[in-house]
Chains A and B, each alone.
Chain A
């Protein structure tokens, strides 16, 4: 078995280190050459983050109560093809517009609601029944009650 994990994305040593742009970093992430979870997309690696075994086991079996004392509503957001997602507090947005604005900024690309097409990143969500739906079809308040996670699809998918 080849030692596929001992090269980093920077192995052709370019001494001239221009500061990487955000999209460069996210490209590196999606190459996932050295990031421990190369095998499965979001499976927890055994050696990152650097926490001791006992804490790691505790966290895995932990059933963290998501109920919070404020009205925060955290959901995970993934961009298709990128293994690292982000966590977003939906309660900080007033509606779809501010959500899209924020996502576009966060992922450095234009994110829209609406039908998938060749050009745009489209936002979808998984509802409490587990189904993937288009964002924007229902009133914002209803959306907040049913959304479980978000996914930004890549363009050019049928």
Chain B
């Protein structure tokens, strides 16, 4: 008797399975489930664009409508990955144009996207609806014009922190008059001015527009007229908030803000002048997300603003908020889930000294839903970390950046080992952790012992020896991404734990003590990994004992990639001993 469910029934059941993690599990059950699942998956996530080939993805998921891709490793955000390393979107777009022309959504992160790519998208995907580019580069406003003119059903166009060659603000005028489907537009990262009239026309014919993020160049005056055209906005990113307006203009703008009854998210606010902060008061009670990371406002004004934001769930702010300001947040923003505090000085000793560990302790005490923290400050204490862990065992993401490398507990002068021990021991669901300050191998023993749910770990200027890496690779069962810079371990731990690397997405190490010989050995031992040695200053001959600058190791089904630049070595390029690829004068 055949007990298998007919595929139509399976399909119906799978249509309720949304999360890709679940779908991945479903596809492992048996062949028929694998088949049915793959034929019904619409949203595909490829978190490392070199882990699999575009052709394989297109082949497996013929009904794909939405593709999310990630390219460069995370440390590329901090200038650690040289230009030209890779992460090209073109092969993916080319393959999908041919094999998945019904594609509707493309979300790319840390990839190189050229104007050719954008033109190809515009020309190939007739039903294209959403383009979201995060931390991408390589294209110009000409490419945007191509998208604007051709994608008749465009709903989302979002450029988040991209580096765009700005050839002028004309691209906006390429949206045809017939385009009325826009839901989300984000051009906040562009430098040049867009024509206000183009923008106003676009906004006024987009009744479904829910999210609008302007660039710095859009004046306060222009903002007023745009808000009047789109009072239904749920997300707003303002332009520069510093032009001098006369009384009438100010009251008009104030009125426009009070009309934003649906607003939940506010960002932008570049250079906001203190006298304009009250303009925002009317939207504060409704806000769930507030990004003040470019608002150079001092603490008292921040307190005035934040004490009105009783529903705030996500707050990004500069350290100008100081401990006192965070105390105010603690008492006013009880729904807070995510807090990020950024430095107000790019230099270690330009940070605001009135922001200490105490600020974070206050918030951890008073905000029961706090799950995610990113905190830059000058120094920290073990006591504070212990208190935070005790207050907030539900923390899922803790990223602490003590700006001064090797800074000990400033009260006891001890390493911060015990503090981070409390964090990993107390916060049992911790998934992401960034550590800093003075740390010995002990800290990593604790993390290895207790950080069982830890998926992503970032480390800089820490540890004493190989033991540090060994603890992490042998202890952290759920470890998926590990990124390390300027730590003193060597080859042993890496080679001993080679098998672990196949269970992880990727490992990044820069300015550590790993030798070229170890990289070769690892490559030979683990054929399913790509072991990339990234070296912008290679020696003419490379003895096995020589240290490598940077290594990026990731598991892959696609084998060696074909687009490696000169400064990337893998064993597939140069299996011979000793000779660097760049052996030129």
Give every chain A residue within 8 A of B239 (Cβ-Cβ). Answer: none
Is residue A144 within 8 Å, beta carbon to beta carbon, of the partner chain? no
Check A28–B406 contact: CB distance below 8 A.
yes
Closest to B163 in A: A53
Query: Which 6 pairs between the two chains have the least Cβ-Cβ distance?
Result: A13-B465, A10-B488, A8-B488, A59-B346, A17-B440, A6-B547
**Minimum distance in angstroms from A47 CB to a CB of chain B:** 5
Give every chain B residue within 8 A of A10 (Cβ-Cβ). Answer: 463-465, 488
Is residue A86 within 8 Å, beta carbon to beta carbon, of the partner chain? yes
| Interface contacts beyond A13-B465, A51-B376, A62-B344: sample of 18 additional A-B pairs, CB < 8 Å, sorted by A | A6-B513, A7-B513, A13-B488, A17-B441, A20-B406, A25-B407, A29-B406, A49-B346, A50-B77, A50-B460, A51-B78, A54-B161, A59-B344, A59-B346, A64-B344, A68-B298, A84-B404, A89-B354
Q: Chain B, 537-575, contact with A by CB distance < 8 Å: what is the 0/1 string?
A: 101000000111100000000000000000000000000
Is residue B73 within 8 Å, beta carbon to beta carbon, of the partner chain? no
Check A52–B549 contact: CB distance below 8 A.
no
**Minimum distance in angstroms from B267 CB to a CB of chain A:** 13
Partner of A20, one of B300, B415, B461: B415
State the CA gap A60–B345 with chains docked (Å): 8
Given known A-B contacts A55-B342, A84-B349, A6 and B441 have beta carbons under 8 A apart: no
Is residue A115 within 8 Å, beta carbon to beta carbon, of the partner chain? no
Give every chain B residue within 8 A of A15 (Cβ-Cβ). Answer: 441, 464-465, 467
Partner of A6, one of B78, B343, B403, B511: B511
Check B296–A62 contact: CB distance below 8 A.
yes
**Minimum distance in angstroms from B72 CB to a CB of chain A:** 13
**Minimum distance in angstroms from B163 CB to a CB of chain A:** 8
**Minimum distance in angstroms from B269 CB to a CB of chain A:** 12
Q: How many residues of B contact A (CB 8 A)?
A: 65
Closest to A61 in B: B346
Is residue A107 within 8 Å, beta carbon to beta carbon, of the partner chain? no
Check A47–B78 contact: CB distance below 8 A.
yes
Tell me the dominant secondary structure on chain B's binding face. loop
Q: Chain B, 398-424, contact with A by CB distance < 8 Å: what is the 0/1 string?
A: 000101111110000111000000000
Is residue B501 within 8 Å, beta carbon to beta carbon, of the partner chain? no
Check A84–B348 contact: CB distance below 8 A.
yes
State the CA gap A25–B347 with chains docked (Å): 19
State the CA gap A81–B136 with chains docked (Å): 40
Check A85–B408 contact: CB distance below 8 A.
no
> Which of B161, B349, B549 counts the most A-chain CB atoms under 10 A from its CB?
B349
**Minimum distance in angstroms from A62 CB to a CB of chain B:** 6
Give every chain A residue within 8 A of B19 (Cβ-Cβ). Answer: none
Is residue B293 within 8 Å, beta carbon to beta carbon, of the partner chain? yes
Is residue A128 within 8 Å, beta carbon to beta carbon, of the partner chain? no
**Size class of the contact patch on chain A:** 35 or more
State the CA gap A151–B210 with chains docked (Å): 54
Of A69-77, A117-125, A130-138, the segment with at least 4 beta carbons within 8 Å of chain B is A69-77
Give every chain A residue within 8 A of B80 (Cβ-Cβ). Answer: 47
Give every chain A residue within 8 A of B353 (Cβ-Cβ). Answer: 74, 87-89
> Which of B299, B346, B460, B461 counts the most A-chain CB atoms under 10 A from its CB?
B346
Check A59–B546 contact: CB distance below 8 A.
no
Is residue A94 within 8 Å, beta carbon to beta carbon, of the partner chain? no
Q: List 26 A-B contacts (CB under 8 A).
A: A1-B537, A3-B539, A7-B488, A13-B464, A13-B488, A15-B464, A17-B464, A19-B415, A25-B406, A28-B406, A29-B405, A34-B405, A35-B461, A42-B347, A47-B80, A48-B78, A48-B348, A50-B460, A51-B376, A52-B77, A53-B163, A55-B293, A59-B345, A65-B296, A74-B353, A84-B349
Is residue A5 within 8 Å, beta carbon to beta carbon, of the partner chain? yes
Is residue B23 within 8 Å, beta carbon to beta carbon, of the partner chain? no
Given known A-B contacts A19-B414, A25-B408, A76-B349, A49 and B486 have beta carbons under 8 A apart: no
State the CA gap A21–B409 with chains docked (Å): 11
Check A87–B549 contact: CB distance below 8 A.
no
Check B549–A35 contact: CB distance below 8 A.
no
Is residue B368 within 8 Å, beta carbon to beta carbon, of the partner chain? no
Is residue B150 within 8 Å, beta carbon to beta carbon, of the partner chain? no
Given known A-B contacts A15-B465, A35-B405, A47-B79, A7 and B547 have beta carbons under 8 A apart: yes
Give every chain A residue within 8 A of B547 (Cβ-Cβ). Answer: 3, 6-7
Give every chain A residue within 8 A of B212 (Cβ-Cβ). Answer: none
Q: Chain B, 369-407, contact with A by CB distance < 8 Å: what is the 0/1 string?
A: 000000010100000000000000000000001011111
Check A34–B465 contact: CB distance below 8 A.
no
Q: Chain A, 18-49, contact with B by CB distance < 8 Å: what is the 0/1 string?
A: 01111001001100001100000010101111
State the CA gap A142–B324 with chains docked (Å): 29
Check A69–B298 contact: CB distance below 8 A.
yes
Q: Chain B, 334-373, contact with A by CB distance < 8 Å: what is the 0/1 string?
A: 0000000011111111110110000000000000000000
Given known A-B contacts A3-B546, A8-B488, A50-B460, A85 and B465 have beta carbons under 8 A apart: no
Is residue A154 within 8 Å, beta carbon to beta carbon, of the partner chain? no
Give every chain B residue within 8 A of A65 (Cβ-Cβ). Answer: 296, 298
Check B405–A52 contact: CB distance below 8 A.
no
Partner of B349, one of A53, A59, A68, A85: A85
Give every chain B residue within 8 A of A21 (Cβ-Cβ). Answer: 413
Check B78–A14 contact: CB distance below 8 A.
no
Check B488–A11 contact: CB distance below 8 A.
yes
Partner of B401, one of A7, A50, A54, A72: A50
Is residue B490 within 8 Å, beta carbon to beta carbon, of the partner chain? yes
Give every chain A residue within 8 A of B512 (Cβ-Cβ). Answer: 6, 8
Closest to A50 in B: B78
Closest to B297 in A: A65
Is residue B487 within 8 Å, beta carbon to beta carbon, of the partner chain? yes
State the CA gap A53–B78 with chains docked (Å): 7
Give every chain B residue within 8 A of A88 (Cβ-Cβ). Answer: 353
**Minimum distance in angstroms from B368 CB to a CB of chain A:** 29
**Minimum distance in angstroms from B420 CB to a CB of chain A:** 15
State the CA gap A66–B231 with chains docked (Å): 37
Closest to B417 in A: A19
> Which of B79, B80, B300 counts the most A-chain CB atoms under 10 A from its CB?
B79
Is residue A116 within 8 Å, beta carbon to beta carbon, of the partner chain? no
